[in-house]
Chains A and B, each alone.
Chain A
Amino acid sequence: MEKTTLFDKIWDAHVVKSVPAGPDVFFIDKHFIHEVTSPVAFLNLDTRGVGVKYPERTIATPDHNVPTINQDQTIKDQLSRMQVQKLRDNCSKYGIELHDLGSAHHGIVHVIGPELGITQPGMTIVCGDSHTSTHGAFGAIAFGIGTSEVEMVLATQCIMQSKAKKMRITVDGILGKGVTSKDIILYIIAEITAAGATGYFVEYAGSAIQSLSMEARMTICNMSIEMGARGGLIAPDEITFNYLEGKRYAPKGAEWDQTVAHWKTLKTDEEAVFDKEYQFDAADIEPMITYGTNPGMGIKVKGTIPTTEGMEGSNKASYLKSLAYMGFEAGEAIKGKLVDFVFVGSCTNGRIEDIRSVAQFVKGHKKADNITAWIVPGSKEVEKMAHEEGLVKILEEAGFELRQPGCSACLAMNEDKIPSGKYAVSTSNRNFEGRQGPGARTMLASPLTVAAVAVTGRICDPREVFEN
């Protein structure tokens, strides 16, 4: 038998047909949709006179442009309201399961999928959103697609896709104190650049990865797209099975045992060959932060912003444009810089573990006067747990403003915008120009670093702020 990777095993089991000199007709097990990238797909179905082939395989929730206050009231922004209404209409017309605003399982699509146990090992999962790679944490092939492809999945449950090359990133060793999975992925992206995995599907492996919780694994897979990868995945193990057991859509009883037996076979063969391999030592990773306008522009919080030495032409020009946007100088330290906003949330770090981590560290502290602190749970379920566990009280006492679930300031499609020129340290995934609002300056970091920045009001190393 040919030695194959986990990615090969799942991919090959989902090829309906290989088109000669073309892509594969690739079958999709689960399809998530939201209000922004689906309406034109539905409109085109209507124009073609085609229906939804397997409505039970699509799950919907409005997340991108929903307000994060007063969710029980009518959405004020007319365009947002119409887009959310269109999603409701389309779901009702075709019999698609909708987790609507205010319902028990409303939330960011990449938070509720795992939470409900919809996301499972061995599956193929797509959504019109590049952070669909999040679901790869369960040992699934999951990636973002465009609206034309959303239409294809609705109409046929398939897309036309060429198989990506294979990359393995191994992180071995033990993470230092104050170093989180967000630091691992920011470190990897800084090492291999924002385009370093373009054309590849990544498997994350090694003892440092295996030691992580599902939430932490999701943070890593989530940001695979930020180094250009189609997606990232991690072989399922006991941590995965324990997370899924008892979840609403997970198999039950005898079926559970049979399914887990199958899931245990989902791993890369020992002698399987990857097109590219990287190896990193967990001991080299420290709390990270970005200083520029793509996620590859990351350094240790204790580090200095790289100089332009060795850069030339458009590469140097792009780099200087980026620093000018951020208001930073090449060669200077980032620690100590004043910050205006902190944002805890998004499909990267809006899960209960992230909120626990922030609450644990800000307990007994107050946010600095110069900081506006927003904390936006990834789902209603996360919000509920945060209340039940007393985290909300701790956070509010520290001066954080707790909002309702949604994508919020990660992409600032709703009212949650960082004002022009202001600095935000954010647990989200993208520091692009204007991502968090026109003119906003974003620095990406872990929830722990964000907690420390909230307390001190400046860029700081969480290990120097919080004891233990």
Chain B
Amino acid sequence: MAYDKFTLLKSNAVPLPNENVDTDQIIPARFLKATERVGFGDNLFRDWRYDVEGNPKKDFVLNDSTYSGKILVAGRNFGSGSSREHAVWALYDYGFRAVVSSFFADIFKNNCLNIGVLPVTISVAFADKLFAAIASNPETEIEIDLPAQKITLISTRESESFDINEYKKENMKHGFDDIDYLLNMSKEIDVFVANN
């Protein structure tokens, strides 16, 4: 369904340098039982964020008030495993509008683009710079400029460009989803079926 338009995002960021964070960590399977898209943010990173009694774990970054922001800077191979879109719903619902990593799993990345969370792939070197900057100053601001396809560390003005295909970029800028496009292709799809 339609989501908020994404053009320019300037925010401080939450660091999560762990590698191979799979979608079972982002949202465990036992929280996938809803039949509507509501309340997933509460269970984002559930088992890293809360103990079995439901008390916040002090050492987890989302429970550390030092860090906040609409950008999650994540370690390598973020979003691997299950295709559950609920993982991205949880990130969006919690308040993240962009995830930055040096490497994303495929299905997760597609799911992000489909619901309006921008996946920004950067070099390992730039990721290391971001982690270091946030570690030394949690107020560090990052700017993500979608039209210019550029991510900038505000404090040092260091920046890097990132890839996104033109079609997806336009969708994100306008808050469109693929289904709007596909519904307009109904006749061409009928012709394809008739010919095959």
CA distance A16 to B82 in the complex (A): 28
Chain A residues near B1: list those with CB within 8 A.
44, 47-48
**Is B29 within 8 A of A21, CB to CB?**
no
Name A103-118 residues within 8 Å CB distance of B. Answer: none
A435 at the interface (CB under 8 A from B): yes
A23 at the interface (CB under 8 A from B): yes
Chain B residues near A47: list those with CB within 8 A.
1
Contact mask for chain A residues 1-41; partner B; CB cutoff 8 A; 1 contact, 0 none: 00000000000010011011111010100000000110110
**Is A434 within 8 A of B179, CB to CB?**
no
Between A and B, 10 residue pairs with Cβ closer than 8 Å are A23-B168, A25-B185, A48-B1, A77-B33, A83-B33, A83-B34, A144-B82, A148-B177, A293-B20, A317-B18
Name B's A-contacting residues (CB within 8 A). Answer: 1, 17-20, 22, 24-25, 28-30, 32-37, 47, 52, 75-77, 80-86, 88, 103-107, 110-111, 114-115, 128, 131, 165-168, 177-179, 181-183, 185-186, 188-189, 192-193, 196
Name the one of A145, A156, A411 contacting B189, with C-beta atoms under 8 angstroms: A156
Size band of the interface chain A makes with B: 35 or more
Minimum Cβ distance to chain A for residue B154 (Å): 23
**Is A317 within 8 A of B22, CB to CB?**
no
List the A residue with the shortest CB-CB distance to B178.
A160
A370 at the interface (CB under 8 A from B): no
| Most B C-beta atoms less than 10 A away, residue of A79, A130, A315, A435 | A130
**Is B85 within 8 A of A37, CB to CB?**
yes
Minimum Cβ distance to chain A for residue B196 (Å): 8
Chain B residues near A130: list those with CB within 8 A.
81-83, 107
Given A21-B165, A65-B33, A80-B33: A147 and B85 interface contact (C-beta under 8 Å): yes
**Is A156 within 8 A of B182, CB to CB?**
yes
Given A194-B77, A412-B29: A146 and B114 interface contact (C-beta under 8 Å): yes
Minimum Cβ distance to chain B for residue A127 (Å): 9
CA distance A86 to B104 in the complex (A): 32
**Is A438 within 8 A of B47, CB to CB?**
yes
Minimum Cβ distance to chain A for residue B172 (Å): 12
Minimum Cβ distance to chain A for residue B51 (Å): 10
**Is B75 within 8 A of A148, CB to CB?**
no
Name A's B-contacting residues (CB within 8 A). Answer: 13, 16-17, 19-23, 25, 27, 36-37, 39-40, 43-44, 47-48, 50, 53-54, 64-65, 77, 79-80, 82-83, 86, 128-130, 143-149, 151-152, 155-160, 162, 164, 194-195, 198-199, 225-226, 228, 230, 293-294, 296, 313-315, 317-318, 321, 411-413, 420, 430, 432-435, 438-439
Given A17-B188, A40-B35, A315-B19: A230 and B165 interface contact (C-beta under 8 Å): no
Number of A-B residue pairs with CB-CB distance less than 8 Å in the complex they form: 205
Given pairs A27-B196, A194-B77, A225-B107, 5 additional interface contacts (CB within 8 A):
A48-B1, A195-B103, A294-B20, A314-B76, A434-B25
Chain A residues near B86: list those with CB within 8 A.
147
CA distance A130 to B30 in the complex (A): 17
**Is A36 within 8 A of B32, CB to CB?**
yes
CA distance A225 to B192 in the complex (A): 30
**Is B83 within 8 A of A82, CB to CB?**
no
CA distance A67 to B121 in the complex (A): 40
CA distance A198 to B188 in the complex (A): 31
Given A199-B106, A432-B24: A155 and B32 interface contact (C-beta under 8 Å): no
Name the one of A16, A77, A146, A226 contacting B83, with C-beta atoms under 8 angstroms: A146
Minimum Cβ distance to chain A for residue B181 (Å): 7
Chain A residues near B37: list those with CB within 8 A.
40, 43
